[in-house]
Amino acid sequence: MALTKLVADRNKIIELSAIELKKLRINYQQLKQQNLQLAHTNSQMLAELNAGKDKMSWDARMACLMPKIWS
């Protein structure tokens, strides 16, 4: 009788562990997807920032050259 209860308890623990593991895997996949989206957004923002810096740098160079050209 005690052995049967121990086996039943063990099986219940295994079942609950499997359910918890499945939840963790789902959560991991969601976090992985979210991280991928954040990395993509971050790359886009950095590209836009760098493009803006390049344009500002170009505008600054042109502003310095323009008075020399007109004089």
Return d(Cα 49, Cα 59) in angstroms, integer: 15
The encoded tokens of residue 59 equal: 């505008």
Residue-wise pLDDT tens for the chain (71 aa)?
Answer: 899 999 999 999 999 999 999 999 999 999 999 999 999 999 999 998 888 877 777 777 767 766 666 65
| Predicted TM-score (pTM) of this structure | 0.62
Sign (positive or negative) of CA dihedral 49, 51, 54, 60? negative
Per-residue model confidence (pLDDT) at position 65: 66
